[in-house]
Amino acid sequence: MTDLDPTEPPRREPGPDAAPDAAPGALERAEQKTLLMPRRERDAQLPAGTLLQEYRLERVLGVGGYSIVYLAHDTRLDRRVAIKEYLPATLAARAPSGEVVPRLPRFEDAFAKGMGSFINEARLLGGFDHPALVKVYRFWQANGTAYMVMPYYEGITLRQWLADLGAPPSERWLRQLAPPLLEALQVLHDHGIVHRDVAPDNVVLLVDRDARSYLEQAPRPVLLDFGAARRVAAEATQQLTAILKTGYSPVEQYDQGHALKAGPWSDIYSLAAVLYAAAVGKPPVPSIARVLRDELAPAKVSARGRYSPAFLAAIDAGLAVRPERRPQTAAEFREWLERSDAAEPDIALPADESAGGVDLTLEPAIPSPPAAPAAPSPSRLPWIAGGIAAVLALALLAWGLLGPR
């Protein structure tokens, strides 16, 4: 692949960390300022008209903390596409030349590792072909970073659709929404991949502009990317909240020590949380808060009367805190959802976890106590990460005291 040759490289004033003769104290203050920077610079995106390979950029579609997505015109095939550029705001910035460079020397390894995850994700998605899973046409490295080209999906996120609807959708609509997403997850799981980022803002509903109102159309969902590069960058900058979706992430995704293993059941929890949020009007209580005392009102209580008992029982099954008490595969969860009565499928029903603490001991072994924490680094960790670590430590202690039930 050839390198990027932007027609109009963006201009940006060098940041404080770019001064070669800065005093040690100034460099330390610059580093602190960099770590606290909440968003990327306003001129970080490439300008309209920039040519990336045979794609001419038209405008910015979205700017996230770890990438920028552009609408572009494929000059060879005469079609519109979306191009995602790897540019994690916490780790890198765009130099005046147009190159993407790490903000600090200590971020170089994390930036390179994140770019490797970005490329690997593009390669994996390029090998899949399912209508509910985002497709990647091609990818390449250039200009100090990486790019992937995807179809330009005309639609709206599930999160925005629910907000525009202003009321819980019908059970029929939700039952149409779930199967394509479960099929997409099954494709990933069959290849040993856990998505880890199923949430309303990561599902796009395709819209037929020539048909009736988009709020009345049957759902045609597309599950977007995994955010693998985001996880690498978040781990490097110790921003744990960046890789978690409050209310949608299962408890095992909070565990950075890997005592709890993520698997297909992790995506089942997230999808069940999406259905819960749609039916109830708000996401579930964060799973980490449910470990010591589960105060989540189950769907069978919160949405009683609006949906069938069988449908609500399926949602509650997927939201079990203990991973082994959830449906373990997409096929099992689909079996729950396809029930027309409240009878249990041939799968273990989650125990009543609303009366108090939840024993998360995984069979058959009891996890070892966590290792002593390392000495803190000069930069302060985000307070939320410390709070989560404390709750996890208490949860692990509870495992040891309570043992398997």
What are the residues whose beta carbons fall under 8 Å from the beta carbon of 166, sequence distance 6 or more? none
Q: What's the confidence (pLDDT) of residue 356?
A: 42
Single-letter residue type at 66: Y
* Strand, helix or coil for residue 353: coil
Instruction: Answer for the pair 262, 116: CB distance below 8 angstroms, yes or no.
Output: no
Lowest mean pLDDT among 47-61, 159-173, 331-345: 331-345
**Which pLDDT does position 143 carry in this prediction?**
95
* Residue 348 reports pLDDT greater than 50: no
Cα–Cα distance list, 225 to 57, 124, 250 (Å): 21, 10, 18
pLDDT for res 213:
84
Give CA–CA dist 337/313, Å, rounded. 9
Six token digits for residue 77: 């095939």
115's tokens: 């770019």
DSSP 340-351: SSS---SSPPPP
The residues near 186 (Cβ < 8 Å, ≥ 6 apart) are 329, 330, 331
- Six-digit token pair at 257? 């020590």
Contact 5, 50 (CB under 8 A): no
Residues with Cβ < 8 Å from 23, sequence gap 6 or more?
none
Instruction: Decide: 39 and 89 in contact? Cβ < 8 Å.
Output: yes
Task: Tell me the pLDDT tens digit for each residue of 265-278.
Answer: 999 999 999 999 99
Q: Contact at 8 Å (CB) between 199 and 244?
A: no
Q: How many residues does the chain have?
A: 405
- The answer, yes or no, to whether residue 3 has pLDDT greater than 80, is no
Whether the CA torsion 235, 241, 244, 249 is positive or negative: it is positive
CB atoms within 10 A of CB 41: 14
Q: Are 214 and 224 in contact (CB under 8 A)?
A: no
Asked if residue 161 lies in contact with residue 215, where contact means CB atoms within 8 angstroms, the answer is yes
Q: What pLDDT, on the 0 to 100 scale, is given for residue 66?
A: 84
Per-chain mean pLDDT for the chain: 77
Tokens of 162: 């629910």
Stretch (H or E) spanning 60: strand 55-63
Interval 198-203 mean pLDDT: 93
Which of 116-120, 134-138, 163-167, 208-212 is the least confident region?
Answer: 208-212
Percent of the chain with pLDDT over 90: 53
All structural domains of the chain with their residue ranges: 16-151, 155-337
Answer whether residue 295 shows pLDDT above 60: yes
Place of tokens 């970080």: 44
Q: Check pLDDT > 60 for residue 363.
A: no
Q: What are the residues facing 203 on neighbouring strands? A: 223
pLDDT class for 2, splitting at 50, 70, 90? very low
What the block records as the tokens of 27 is 């460099």
Please, which residues have CB within 8 angstroms of residue 60's CB and are 6 or more apart in sequence?
A: 45, 68, 69, 70, 71
Which region among 44-53, 225-234, 385-394 has the lowest average model confidence (pLDDT)?
385-394
Domain formed by 155-337, architecture: Orthogonal Bundle (1.10)
Q: Which amino acid is at 395?
A: A
- Per DSSP, the residues of 365-394 read PPPPPPPPPPPPPSSPPPHHHHHHHHHHHH
The Cα 348–Cα 334 span in angstroms is: 14
Q: Give the confidence band of 227 by pLDDT, cuts at 50, 70, 90.
A: low
Q: Which is nearest to 142 in space by CA: 119, 117, 110, 108?
A: 119
Architecture of domain 16-151: 2-Layer Sandwich (3.30)
End-to-end CA distance of the chain: 57
Burial class (CB in 10 A: 0-12, 13-18, 19+), 392: buried
